[in-house]
Amino acid sequence: MNKHQSGSLLGVIGGLFFMAGDCLIFCYKGNTGVEIDPLWLDVSMWRFVLSAVFGFIGMALMIPAYFSFKKMIDDTCGGLLRLFAVFMGVGVVSTGYLHFALGSLLPITYKTIIGCGGSAELAARVCKNWSDILAPVNLVLIIFLCFEYLVHFIATVSGKLKLPRLMFLVGILGAFAIGLVWRLIFKGTAAEGAYGAFESMGEGLTFLTAFVYWTKSKETFLQRKNEESV
């Protein structure tokens, strides 16, 4: 296994860490997806803290995967997609922060304030202020991260990677479809909250596409080498 294959696999593993972190945040009975949920009080604090830790581990694993992905794009695609891949890098190195800011920060804040004797109203107000302050930053970083999905979609559908065009489903679109099915199956249960993990699954699958590309490239190289030696 060469460095690009192993780097890509690290990204897949990083996606699994993000998925586990999402499940720790969102899988609880009664979760309706509201921004500030009083039911956070019924969820153990360690879950939100561990979720943040998993997010930063996932980010650390995705950074080498990004360089393998970018090398794939640089070798196969034109200037515009190469530029988009640079923008994508900003999103990838922000994933740990985004996971914390969008997932763990508000529940931790809410539970801490009430645990220190504050009222539910005060806790909700502080959380709302946090959300409003960070919203512009989060939006910009999410846009950068979306370049990952855009580059993956264009590179696979265009055939530039010389992989089956249906590989575009091995990414955010396929993960979203799986998420919808999951939500229908587990609707009304604590497991329904795992639906929120499928965006992270889409990130991991994007790097799986890179792993398939580098594996195929290695096989092609070895085949040519064998033919030359005959």
Confidence of residue 228 (pLDDT cuts 50, 70, 90): low
Q: Are 59 and 67 in contact (CB under 8 A)?
A: no
> What's the rounded Cα separation, in Å, for the pair 209 and 185?
27
**pLDDT tens readout for residues 109-163:** 999 999 999 999 999 999 999 999 999 999 999 999 999 999 999 999 999 999 9
Confidence of residue 189 (pLDDT cuts 50, 70, 90): confident
- pLDDT, greater one: 52 or 169: 52
| pLDDT (0 to 100) of residue 219 | 62
Among 36-50, 132-146, 158-172, the range scoring the smallest mean pLDDT is: 158-172
pLDDT digit string, tens, across residues 197-216: 888 888 889 999 999 999 98
**CA-CA distance, 217 to 215, in Å (whole number)?**
5
Q: Distances from the Cα of 112 to the Cαs of 21, 34, 97, in angstroms?
A: 20, 19, 20
Query: How confident is the prediction for the chain on average, in pLDDT?
Result: 91
Residue 96 has pLDDT above 80, yes or no: yes
Question: Above 70 in pLDDT, residue 227?
Answer: no
Q: Give residue 114's pLDDT.
A: 96
**pTM to 2 decimals?**
0.91
Q: Which residues of 162-191 are buried (b: 16+ CB within 10 A; e: fewer)?
A: ebeeebbbbbbebbeebbeebbeeeeeeeb
Burial of 92 (0-12, 13-18, 19+ CB in 10 A): buried
pLDDT score, position 61 = 96
Per-residue confidence (pLDDT) for residue 179, from 0 to 100: 87
Q: Which two tokens stand for residue 219?
A: 């096989």
pLDDT mean over 25-49: 92
pLDDT tens-digit readout, 61-90: 999 999 999 999 999 998 899 999 999 999
Q: What was the pLDDT predicted at 91? A: 95
- Is pLDDT of 98 > 60? yes
Q: What is the pLDDT of residue 131?
A: 95
Residue 220 has what pLDDT? Answer: 60
